[in-house]
Chain A
Amino acid sequence: MEIILENWPMLLGGIGTTIALTVLGYGFALILGTALAVCRVSPIPPLRGAATVYVEIFRNIPLLSLLILIAFGLPDAGLLLPYFWCGVLGLTLSSAAFVCENVRSGINTVPIGHAEAARSIGLGFFGVLRYVVLPQAFRTMISPLVNVFIGTLIGSSLCAAISVAEITYVTQQLNIRTAEAVLLFLVAGVIYLALSLAAASGGIALEKALAPGRRRRPTTTQAMMGAQQA
């Protein structure tokens, strides 16, 4: 326990870096991923194709490979980024692919008739998306997007491989000095768990806030739980 107390400032720094990596990577991924999703539903075939290729590439490369390629490949290409920003870039590129797929399937939950009704009153592609489709899709997207957030948080631990001093990296360093692997990684695990749970409960609060005073329809899950009791 003393190890933890003595090295608390270092751990706190690690937590701060983990949060910074996650929030920045996820924030940029939301923007990039939404833009990609808009491309994927756009009427312009080349845009659709480009977004599809993007998603297939970045969703299928292991994040670790991606981070190492960025950290050690970009300098070869003449672009020297600090390791922290390499981490942010890798997380962004990877998470954007998942954001894109979630936003796209959120868009697909909106009945096609609503989009047609919106077109029939004269709204164009962006108007239909902005005023009719996305506001409806957003509520169904919250929970999958929280999953992407958690994925980004957990993925940020791989930035340890490119020497970004986030929680996992700090834990490894302490372990080298003290050889208390189990204790140290248990603490790190609890920190990740706490951060994930905080994000999940934030998502639930957001879902509730977006349905003010509306009767919440029972979900299929609830119906199935009822069936079990009966």
Chain B
Amino acid sequence: MPMTDARDTPVPPPDGAAAAVGEPLISVRGVSKLFGDFAALKDIDLDIHRGEVVALIGASGSGKSTLCRCINRLETVSDGVITVDGRPLPEEGRELARLRSEVGMVFQSFNLFPHLRAVENVTLGPMKVRGVPKAEARAEAMELLARVGLQGKEHSLPAQLSGGQQQRVAIARALAMHPKAMLFDEPTSALDPEVIKEVLDVMTELAEAGMTMLVVTHEMGFARHVCDRVVFMDSGEIVESAEPEAFFTAPRSQRAKDFLGKVLAH
């Protein structure tokens, strides 16, 4: 722990405990995002607390990916403020690059680095961004890969892994940066039905271990049974935010009813 910590705060609260009820970990305030004159996000407010697992659902084009990308600053916002752990993200620069890794991101298309082996995909960030020595980074990467059920696959190239395995490497890669929160943008949408479960299982374990998560998903079972809250978006707006049970059994808005009518009919 850095020495300054003790001097800055006279009575440092025990890690997490006090903060859990107060400050949200991720706070989105009045955020809009324009692409030209098209508003992909319109005045979004969203708080995600420590340890909370939030499902983000909505029709295609409603702005779910855009919101994730804004939280991770892969996209700049046109208006409003997003803070992570109380700090607004700075403009582009070295500091932003480092801070960005405090929020891990898992993509629909995995995006593993194809020229690197599974374990190297995981160690790249820790070694090059956090300056962790190679041996230490490798040891932790092996542990993380084992945690996502990939013992024995550490030295495979992404092309030699199935989609489900690749996505689990991608999760391990994000976890290796010790993120405070994880964003999942349709992590199972590109997967065959039989391997969706292995990825959802890893995410469920992560949720149970207390990770703060925002999950864009079409897996309504996951949203209902694993998530603490469901946020429903339509046309760039948050239309509804509710406990999963309440949302799925008695949605308040007509738009949510229509959406659920469509997805649950399948």
Taking Cβ atoms with an 8 Å cutoff, the residues of A that contact B are 43, 111, 113-114, 116-124, 127, 131-132, 135-136, 214
- A139 nearest CB neighbor, chain B only: B115
C-alpha spacing A118/B128, complex, angstroms: 11
B207 contacts the other chain (CB 8 A): no
Binds A, one of B10-18, B41-49, B169-177, B210-218: B169-177
Residues of B within 8 A of A43 (CB): 92
B114 contacts the other chain (CB 8 A): yes
Residues of A within 8 A of B72 (CB): 120
> In the complex, how many angstroms separate the beta carbon of B237 from the nearest chain A beta carbon?
25
> In the complex, how many angstroms separate the beta carbon of A141 from the nearest chain B beta carbon?
14
Contact, CB under 8 Å: B128 / A131: yes
C-alpha spacing A113/B103, complex, angstroms: 17
- B94 nearest CB neighbor, chain A only: A124
Q: Contacts A43-B92, A117-B105: A122 and B111 contacting too (C-beta < 8 A)?
A: no
B146 contacts the other chain (CB 8 A): no
Contact, CB under 8 Å: A127 / B107: no
Taking Cβ atoms with an 8 Å cutoff, the residues of B that contact A are 72, 74, 92, 94, 97-101, 103-105, 107, 109, 111-115, 124-125, 128-130, 157, 159, 170, 173-174, 176-177
> Which of B94, B109, B115, B125 is in CB contact (< 8 Å) with A121?
B125
Contact, CB under 8 Å: A121 / B101: yes
Contact, CB under 8 Å: B74 / A123: no
Contact, CB under 8 Å: B170 / A117: yes
Q: Contacts A116-B74, A136-B115: A123 and B107 contacting too (C-beta < 8 A)?
A: no
> Which of B109, B124, B157, B173 is in CB contact (< 8 Å) with A113?
B109
- B183 nearest CB neighbor, chain A only: A120
Residues of B within 8 A of A116 (CB): 74, 107, 111
> In the complex, how many angstroms separate the beta carbon of B18 from the nearest chain A beta carbon?
28
Contact, CB under 8 Å: B94 / A117: no
Residues of B within 8 A of A122 (CB): 97-101, 125, 129-130, 177
Residues of A within 8 A of B101 (CB): 120-122
Residues of A within 8 A of B104 (CB): 120-121
Residues of A within 8 A of B99 (CB): 122
Q: Can you spell out 7 A-B residue pairs with CB atoms less than 8 angstroms apart?
A: A113-B111, A116-B74, A119-B74, A122-B129, A123-B125, A127-B128, A132-B113
Q: Contacts A43-B92, A122-B98, A124-B94: A117 and B128 contacting too (C-beta < 8 A)?
A: no
Contact, CB under 8 Å: B170 / A119: no
Residues of B within 8 A of A111 (CB): 109, 111
Q: From DSSP, what is the main secondary structure of chain A's interface residues?
A: helix
Residues of A within 8 A of B129 (CB): 121-123, 127
Residues of B within 8 A of A135 (CB): 115
Residues of A within 8 A of B177 (CB): 121-122
> In the complex, how many angstroms separate the beta carbon of B215 from the nearest chain A beta carbon?
16
Q: Which 4 A-B pairs have the closest CB atoms?
A: A122-B101, A121-B125, A117-B111, A122-B129
- A112 nearest CB neighbor, chain B only: B111
Q: Contacts A117-B111, A117-B170, A123-B97: A131 and B124 contacting too (C-beta < 8 A)?
A: yes
Contact, CB under 8 Å: B92 / A119: no
C-alpha spacing A111/B114, complex, angstroms: 11
Contact, CB under 8 Å: B174 / A120: yes
In the complex, besides A114-B113, A127-B128, A136-B114, 18 extra interface pairs with C-beta distance below 8 angstroms are A113-B107, A113-B109, A113-B111, A116-B74, A116-B111, A119-B74, A119-B97, A120-B104, A120-B105, A120-B174, A121-B124, A121-B129, A122-B100, A122-B177, A123-B125, A124-B97, A131-B113, A132-B124
- B112 nearest CB neighbor, chain A only: A117
Contact, CB under 8 Å: B97 / A114: no
> Which of A113, A114, A120, A214 is in CB contact (< 8 Å) with B100?
A120
Residues of A within 8 A of B103 (CB): 120
Contact, CB under 8 Å: A114 / B125: no
Q: Contacts A122-B100, A122-B101, A124-B94: A117 and B107 contacting too (C-beta < 8 A)?
A: yes
Residues of A within 8 A of B109 (CB): 111, 113
> Which of B94, B111, B128, B174 is in CB contact (< 8 Å) with A114?
B111
C-alpha spacing A111/B105, complex, angstroms: 17
Residues of A within 8 A of B94 (CB): 124
> Which of B92, B113, B157 is in CB contact (< 8 Å) with A117?
B113
C-alpha spacing A119/B99, complex, angstroms: 10
Residues of A within 8 A of B105 (CB): 117, 120
- A115 nearest CB neighbor, chain B only: B111
C-alpha spacing A135/B114, complex, angstroms: 10
